């Protein structure tokens, strides 16, 4: 109700995740619409996209931002390189799946990992 939806099922797009691997959109699917009845096992090495969806008040347009995360032995690591923390969503700074990102992230992905530029040159 807080977001203008009649019930949780109508708002399911606000809480969504899916696997990424051979395809950019694949199983497992994470959503309160299906996950409570069909739970998935999460294992180290899996890669997921976690999507944030925010509908506009016009009933048609919306924003959907996606963060990619990899499951590690210690939890999850955000691997998205787009500086989404600088975006504004509904007038509020955007926070990622792992919380606010450091201000030192670069807009060019090769600058986020010092070793990646060397791999590109080879």
SS3 86: helix
Burial of 69 (0-12, 13-18, 19+ CB in 10 A): buried
pLDDT at residue 104 above 50?
Answer: no
Range of the domain at 23: 12-121
69 falls within a domain: yes
Specify if 58 maps to a domain.
yes
**Confidence class of residue 7 from pLDDT cuts 50, 70 and 90?**
confident
Q: Is the separation of the CB atoms in 65 and 80 below 8 Å?
A: no
pLDDT tens digits for 67-94? 899 999 999 898 887 766 666 554 555 5
Q: Tell me whether residue 6 is in a domain.
A: no
To the nearest whole number, what is the mean pLDDT of the chain?
A: 70
Averaged pLDDT for residues 92-101? 55
pTM score over 0.85: no
Q: In the chain, how many domains are there?
A: 1
Asked whether residue 57 is assigned to any structural domain, the reply reads: yes
Mean pLDDT for the stretch of residues 8-15: 63
pLDDT, tens digit (0-9, with 9 covering 90-100), for 15-41: 678 898 888 778 888 877 777 788 888
1 in a domain, yes or no? no
Judge contact between 70 and 95, C-beta under 8 A: no
Could you tell me if residue 43 is inside a domain? yes
């Amino acid at each position: 109700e807080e977001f203008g939806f009649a019930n949780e099922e109508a708002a399911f797009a606000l809480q969504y995740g899916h696997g990424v691997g051979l395809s950019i959109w694949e199983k497992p699917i994470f959503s309160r619409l299906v996950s409570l009845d069909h739970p998935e096992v999460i294992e180290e090495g899996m890669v997921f996209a976690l999507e944030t969806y925010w509908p506009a008040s016009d009933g048609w347009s919306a924003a959907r931002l996606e963060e990619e995360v990899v499951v590690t032995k210690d939890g999850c690591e955000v691997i998205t390189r787009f500086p989404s923390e600088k975006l504004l969503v509904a007038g509020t700074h955007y926070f990622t799946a792992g919380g606010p990102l450091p201000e030192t992230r670069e807009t060019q992905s090769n600058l986020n990992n010092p070793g990646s530029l060397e791999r590109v040159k080879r």
